[in-house]
């Protein structure tokens, strides 16, 4: 089956990940409120947002497969947003130092023609080294990961912050769990390779 594939995101990171699968696809930015609902867990939040993003874009198309994804990081049950600036990123990484951080990535594949959606949440655990203020500051000035959940880029210099990684798919940590996406595609008749 040849289907139009639409990534419900304009993230350069998710786009680069999807390009690994050698598929033709387009991107479209969903216009949704990403604020958490009171009492919502990280897992519930990314599940809801990945579905909402995919549904928003699917509503614009009569057919095609729409990929929605969302990610948050959690330390000790607290959801971390994108830091936005040096000071917030510094605080997030100081909090993460010597601890484990859970990354929840929601993934939805929405068939715009049938209305069928497949949604899941992938969890990836990052164990941070004990880091000094100076190490964190040096890292932040070098990579400026202010638009990244957890204040780092694991595909770049951020790998230097970790003691070890625990998860099924390193792509999930960057924002799109490709191994699970391939499985969802197969259920829709899209075979890779």
Q: Are 89 and 153 in contact (CB under 8 A)?
A: no
User: Token pair of 149, please?
Assistant: 């959940």
Cα(68)–Cα(148) distance, integer angstroms: 17
User: Token pair of 10, please?
Assistant: 């304009």
Q: What are phi and psi of 180, to 5 degrees?
A: -70, -35
Catalytic residue among 22, 70, 133, 168: 70
Cis ω on the peptide bond leading into residue 193 (within 30° of 0)?
yes
Is 70 annotated in the active site? yes
Q: Are 125 and 96 in contact (CB under 8 A)?
A: no
Catalytic residues: 70
């Amino acid at each position: 089956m040849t289907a139009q594939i639409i990534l419900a995101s304009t993230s350069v990171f998710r786009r680069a990940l999807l390009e690994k699968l050698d598929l033709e696809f387009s991107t479209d930015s969903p216009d949704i409120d990403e604020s958490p609902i009171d009492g919502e867990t990280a897992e519930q939040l990314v599940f809801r947002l990945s579905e909402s993003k995919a549904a928003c874009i699917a509503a614009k198309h009569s057919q095609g497969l729409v990929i929605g994804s969302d990610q948050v990081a959690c330390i000790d049950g607290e959801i971390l947003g994108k830091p936005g600036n040096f000071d917030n990123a510094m605080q997030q990484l100081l909090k993460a130092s010597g601890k484990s951080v859970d990354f929840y990535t929601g993934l939805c594949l929405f068939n715009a023609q049938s209305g069928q959606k497949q949604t899941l949440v992938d969890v990836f655990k990052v164990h941070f080294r004990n880091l000094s203020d100076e190490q964190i500051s040096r890292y932040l000035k070098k990579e400026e990961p202010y638009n990244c959940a957890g204040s780092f880029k694991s595909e770049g210099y951020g790998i230097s912050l970790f003691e070890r990684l625990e998860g099924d798919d390193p792509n999930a940590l960057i924002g799109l769990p490709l191994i699970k996406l391939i499985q969802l595609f197969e259920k829709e008749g899209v075979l890779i390779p």
